[in-house]
């Protein structure tokens, strides 16, 4: 009994520590005062001013375009790479997996500077293209690590049975293999999008003038002093990502129930 209470208290403290700052941020995004220490009443003016700010809307546009594009491209490349790694011999698989882990464990500042030096060496002008390429590249390992466990769980006989029944390799992959690994693919896609959407360090070193995402914009705004629009923008980003995760979880739950009913 005592152990159960201690476990619940530990979990409660953990969640409070993680989410209390976000809750405070969200509350003060509705504060009519510019001060973060006093509450002067409820207002939505900071959200209105946020959506009227052209600089914020431009940063939101670049964040969404780069986030969605890099996530889709990285998911396609990462899924294909996961199949290739899975079919390798043990020694080759171990070597490639160790190389795959390096970008994940590598400090972001080292990765960001490395990309910047590579683009300068190749004489590619820093801007939208370099920002997109760097995001695609650092997202690929996360997709591989999300998809590979699902591939390991696959039953090879299902694919072979589909081929024996007359299905083409592509049709068998689309109808048999892809539905089985879809949870891992969606997880990799969402992870790639969220990592790209809130990345600062790699983006900071690989963007040019006129192109900045929300993370870079928030950093530059925070350096100029307290701005309540930062609270509104951060709250908007958090709610958007949370809503996306809830919708995806609901859709995946429905898909799993449908599959179980068919069985």
Give per-residue pLDDT as tens, 115-124. 999 999 999 8
Q: What is the per-residue pLDDT for 72?
A: 95
Q: At what angle do helices 54-86 and 178-198 cross, to 10 degrees?
A: 140
Residue 29 covered by a domain: no
Q: List pLDDT tens digits, range 55-105.
A: 888 888 899 899 999 999 999 999 999 999 988 888 888 888 888 888 888
- Residue 24 included in any domain: no
Q: Is 15 within a domain?
A: no
pLDDT reported for residue 262: 60
CATH number at residue 83: 1.10.3720.10
Is residue 252 included in any domain, yes or no? yes
Q: In terms of residue numbers, what domain contains 212?
A: 48-262
Q: Is 17 left (phi over 0), alpha (psi -120 to 50) or beta?
A: alpha
Its pTM stands at: 0.83
pLDDT of residue 214: 84
In a domain, 34, yes or no: no
Average pLDDT for runs of 10 along the chain of length 263: 82 87 85 75 85 87 92 94 89 87 86 92 90 93 91 81 80 83 88 88 87 84 76 84 81 71 60
Q: Which two tokens stand for residue 218?
A: 């928030």
Count of domains for the chain: 1
Task: Give the pLDDT of residue 261.
Answer: 63
Torsion angle defined by CA atoms of residues 189, 190, 193 and 199, in that order, rounded to the nearest 10 degrees? -130
Q: Is residue 20 part of a domain?
A: no
58 found inside a domain: yes
* Residue 1 is assigned to a structural domain of this protein: no
DSSP per-residue codes, the chain? -HHHHHHHHHHHHHHHHHHHHHHHHHHHTTBSSS-SS----B--HHHHHHHH-HHHHHHHHHHHHHHHHHHHHHHHHHHHHHHHHHTS-HHHHHHHHHHHHHHHHS-HHHHHHHHHHHHHHTTPPSSHHHHHHHHHHHHHHHHHHHHHHHHHT--HHHHHHHHHTT--HHHHIIIIIHHHHHHHHHHHHHHHHHHHHH--HHHHHH--TT---HHHHHHHHHHT---HHHHHHHHHHHHHHHHHHHHHHHHHHHHHHHHHHH-
């Amino acid at each position: 009994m005592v152990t159960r209470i201690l476990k619940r208290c530990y979990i409660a403290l953990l969640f409070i520590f993680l989410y209390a700052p976000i809750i405070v941020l969200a509350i003060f995004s509705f504060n009519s005062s510019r001060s973060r220490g006093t509450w002067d009443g409820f207002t939505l003016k900071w959200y209105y001013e946020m959506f009227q700010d052209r600089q914020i809307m431009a940063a939101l546009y670049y964040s969404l375009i780069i986030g969605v594009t890099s996530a889709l491209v990285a998911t396609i490349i990462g899924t294909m790479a996961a199949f290739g790694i899975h079919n390798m011999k043990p020694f080759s698989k171990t070597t490639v997996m160790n190389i795959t882990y390096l970008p994940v464990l590598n400090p972001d500042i080292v990765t960001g500077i490395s990309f910047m030096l590579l683009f300068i060496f190749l004489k590619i002008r820093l801007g939208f293209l370099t920002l997109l390429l760097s995001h695609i590249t650092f997202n690929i390992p996360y997709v591989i690590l999300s998809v590979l466990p699902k591939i390991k769980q696959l039953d090879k006989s299902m694919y072979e049975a589909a081929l024996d029944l007359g299905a083409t390799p592509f049709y068998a992959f689309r109808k048999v293999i892809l539905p089985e690994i879809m949870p891992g693919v969606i997880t990799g896609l969402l992870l790639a999008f969220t990592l790209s959407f809130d990345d600062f360090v790699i983006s900071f070193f690989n963007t040019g003038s006129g192109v900045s995402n929300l993370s870079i914009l928030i950093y530059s705004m925070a350096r100029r002093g307290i701005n309540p629009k930062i609270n509104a923008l951060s709250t908007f980003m958090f709610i958007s990502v949370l809503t996306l995760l809830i919708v995806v979880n609901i859709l995946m739950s429905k898909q799993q129930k449908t599959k179980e009913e068919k069985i």
